[in-house]
Structure 1
Amino acid sequence: MQLFHYKKIILFLVLATAGILIAAADINPFYTDPYKLEYPDYFGNRISIPADNPTTKQGVYLGRMLFYETKLSSSKTISCASCHQQKLAFADSKAFSSGINDMPTKRNSMSLSNLLWVRNFFWDGRAKGLEQQATFPLNDPHEMGNYLEQAVKDLQRTKEYPPLFKAAFGTTEITVDRLTKAIAQFERTLISANAPYDKYLRGEYKPTPEELNGMELFMNSPVPSKNSRGANCAQCHGTPKMYMELFHNNGLDSIPKDIGREEITGMENDRGRFRVATLRNIELTAPYMHDGRFKTLEEVLDHYNEHILSSRTLSLSLQDRSNVEKGKTLGLTAQEKSNIISFLKMLTDTDFVNDPRFANPHLKKVK
């Protein structure tokens, strides 16, 4: 009889444990296991993941929930996704995004993709890492209402979030540190690597003559003495990820209204310098530049071809570059500019902008 009693106790404990695991799985379908970050070899393995924030499936799921969570804003109407929409490659269509009460932000929202390789965030590079980056919009009075500390308390009172934090971090206690770590984990999974350009690199796509000529112009520097034409784009955007982590003054203004990186470093040599933005999915992320001044890719090409303004901090990559001997401008033809845009559209990754892993998990599926 006593043995039977012990067997009943053991059976009860097994069933209870299974029930807890099933309940946790219902809340979070990625209850265990590290998250496998998949990307092509040609992207390189110099990735940026802090040792104290490994990427796990439960952390990524929680981060995705928080990325789309309007409870993080003081008005309960704004989430990270408000300014970073998946259909627009996690950018938006405004020159300056709208925060709480439709208050405009200071700069254009940058596209979020391939952040696994980035170390300095925002146009001016003020944030060292994704974890720190997440705190800025949450604490900004013009973006999400300087609501981070209160948001943590609000989430603690919900039914769904404490178990999710338990699954991700081993405790139901919600803190600012854990919240930003979870968002960072999700954002590291936003990898765009299946555009026609990627397929071309893998030998799976044959570019049109226009796309191929645009690619050659994009990658080449002009050498008029050798009759070699180029647009010099690869000086800043030449990696397969279509950006390099640099800060440049790209000739938008002779006297910048926005001093850019100088505001962070205090160095005059950084005046008017901004982070080189990725060109991945560039077709979807208009308007362009830190202030959204250009509405189309045609306007962007016109700027680099004909309208670069000189200043003391103008990027060396943009000085004295011309397809004409002793030319004052880049000197691309209308057809060449059109071909470059054809190549840029090869960077549009439709799989990325439709990937259900990145979609809003709060939306119920309509049957």
Structure 2
Amino acid sequence: MRRGFKRTKFRTYPSGWFFTGLMACFFLFCGLTHSFENQKPTPYTLRYPANFGGRYTIPEDNPITKEGVYLGRLLFYEKKLSAGNSISCESCHLQKLAFTDGKALSQGADGSLTTRSAMSLANLLWVRNFFWDGRSPNLEQQAAFPLTNVHEMGQPLTESVAKLRQTALYPPLFKAAFGSDIITRDYILKALAQFERTLISSDSRYDRYLAGTYPPTAQELRGMALFQNAPNPQKLIRGANCEHCHGGVKTFKELFHNNGLDSTFSDNGRQNFTNQVEDKGRFRVPTLRNIMLTAPYMHDGRFQRIEQVLDHYNEHILESATLSSFLRDVSNETNGKKLMLTKSEKTDIISFLSMLTDSAFITNPEFSNPHLTLKSQ
């Protein structure tokens, strides 16, 4: 009896502890699973120099998160968002070209050409009005235009939603980014906007010069001075007058100008959006960051080379009622009507513009096509 009691006691207690431990592990697992499912997205930390400033707006209903940025990056390179699964956002915005496409006009999913040149996507975080005519006030609204335009990606967002819902890849990623695996048009636009806000170009030789870590060449310094100065022949100050529109460390201002390309207009520019006569022929002042990579130039891509751009401002400004006042009667010669830069001065300016190329931006793996990595796994 005594031996049996011991045997029973010995066998009973270990099995009880085993059961208790098993239940504890079960509840712990359930708790961890529940915690994981309800885990909030991780805030994304934007990195940029202090001189870029914090004057930007991120919508309260679309904070930037690591999960949202990664999802947006996948969608940026996703051909399922286009008619016939033929093109993606990347088709018109190649990273190696500072997110332009090297074409005067881009080709859409239907084979037709766009009416305006693809703009660089660098430093969109600080832009307040998007497109050449400024018709969109934020990136969320901006993204809907190329996605649905019949001559661009050419697909209703309802169809894009349906395609993504049928994949194994996307529902969990939407849940991680937005708390729901039910994919919607708004979540698609929000994710794309999050990714595009991270496309910051801030590591050019010009940035390093401003940070005191790069000593410019004599030619670059001459070009910088010409770029920044307005001509004043009375004071013997020579300049190219560029900074009026492309001033500041980000080399753009929130302005729309008629820059003298035409005297009559086949494209009325911002007037198409505002219906204001004074906006006829006016277009957005784009950033000059990575300008040596983003040819051809102007809203219609009419100039293939940067030399042609300088020749235009130097010698070929055309008069019209809405011509920018910054371009009227500006000259390096007394009483001159043209800018009158010399050939060597143009070369100096190009040397400075080359300082704006950001090699890190065009090779940053955080901006590259993640589908290539997924395929290799």
Q: SS of 1:362's equivalent? A: helix
Matched, 1:194 2:203: yes
CA distance in 1 between partners of 2:322 and 2:79 (Å): 40
Does the 8 Å CA contact 2:38/2:179 hold for their aligned counterparts?
Answer: no
CA distance in 1 between partners of 2:62 and 2:20 (Å): 42
Question: Aligned ranges for residues 15-94 of structure 1 at < 5 Å?
Answer: 15=29, 32-94=41-103
Matched, 1:284 2:293: yes
CA distance in 1 between partners of 2:208 and 2:76 (Å): 30
Which of 322, 335, 340 pairs up with 2:344? 335
Q: Which runs of 5+ in 2 are unaligned?
A: 1-14
Which of 178, 183, 191 pairs up with 2:187? 178
Matched, 1:110 2:124: no
Question: Aligned ranges for residues 283-322 of structure 1 at < 5 Å?
Answer: 283-322=292-331
Q: 1:323 to 1:258 in 2, by over 3 A?
A: same
CA distance in 2 between partners of 1:203 and 1:240 (Å): 14
Cα distance per residue 1:146-173 (max 9 Å; x no partner): 3321011110111010000000000001
Q: 1:93 to 1:147 in 2, by over 3 A?
A: same
CA distance in 1 between partners of 2:26 and 2:337 (Å): 82
CA distance in 2 between partners of 1:209 and 1:21 (Å): 60
CA distance in 1 between partners of 2:219 and 2:325 (Å): 29
Does the 8 Å CA contact 1:73/1:145 hold for their aligned counterparts?
Answer: yes
After TM superposition, give the deviation of residue 187 of structure 1 in Å.
0.2
Matched, 1:9 2:38: no
Cα distance per residue 1:207-240 (max 9 Å; x no partner): 1111100000000000011110000000000110
CA distance in 2 between partners of 1:141 and 1:323 (Å): 47
| Equivalent residue number for residue 334 of structure 2 | 325
CA distance in 2 between partners of 1:220 and 1:13 (Å): 71
Q: State the number of aligned residues.
A: 362
Q: 1:93 to 1:21 in 2, by over 3 A?
A: farther
Q: Percent same amino acid at aligned positions? A: 58
Does the 8 Å CA contact 1:61/1:186 hold for their aligned counterparts?
Answer: yes
Does the 8 Å CA contact 1:249/1:313 hold for their aligned counterparts?
Answer: yes
CA distance in 2 between partners of 1:128 and 1:286 (Å): 26
Which of 122, 134, 138 pairs up with 2:143? 134
Q: SS of 1:322's equivalent? A: coil
Counterpart AA for 1:144 = M
Q: 1:361 to 1:18 in 2, by over 3 A?
A: farther
Matched, 1:204 2:204: no
Cα distance per residue 1:260-296 (max 9 Å; x no partner): 0000000010000000010000000000000000000
Cα distance per residue 1:9-53 (max 9 Å; x no partner): 33134446667999999xxxxx94210001101111101211111
Cα distance per residue 1:180-226 (max 9 Å; x no partner): 00000000000000000000000011111111000000000000111
| Equivalent residue number for residue 28 of structure 1 | none
CA distance in 1 between partners of 2:166 and 2:32 (Å): 26
| Equivalent residue number for residue 268 of structure 1 | 277
Q: SS of 1:122's equivalent? A: coil
Q: Give the TM-score of the pair, scaled to structure 1.
A: 0.95
Q: SS of 1:102's equivalent? A: coil
CA distance in 2 between partners of 1:38 and 1:110 (Å): 22
Matched, 1:356 2:362: no
CA distance in 2 between partners of 1:336 and 1:317 (Å): 20
CA distance in 2 between partners of 1:231 and 1:10 (Å): 75
CA distance in 2 between partners of 1:210 and 1:222 (Å): 19
Root-mean-square deviation over aligned CA pairs: 2.0
CA distance in 2 between partners of 1:124 and 1:156 (Å): 34
| Equivalent residue number for residue 167 of structure 2 | 158
Counterpart AA for 1:325 = T
Does the 8 Å CA contact 1:48/1:118 hold for their aligned counterparts?
Answer: no
Counterpart AA for 1:12 = F
CA distance in 2 between partners of 1:13 and 1:176 (Å): 37
| Equivalent residue number for residue 149 of structure 1 | 158
Does the 8 Å CA contact 1:24/1:167 hold for their aligned counterparts?
Answer: no
